Amino acid sequence: MAGLALGVILSSELRPIAWPMLAAGIAIHLFGMVSTRRLLSSIGHRPSLLERAGYWLCWAVIVAVLLYGAWALIP
What would the pLDDT profile of 6-15 be if each residue is shown by its tens digit?
A: 777 777 777 7
Range of the domain at 63: 16-73
Q: Which residues of the chain have pLDDT under 50?
A: none
Has residue 65 been placed in a domain?
yes
What total of structural domains would you count in the chain?
A: 1
What residues contact 65, with CB distance under 8 A and at least 6 apart? 22, 26
Looking at residue 1, its pLDDT comes to: 64
Has residue 63 been placed in a domain?
yes
Has residue 1 been placed in a domain?
no
Has residue 59 been placed in a domain?
yes
pTM of the model: 0.60
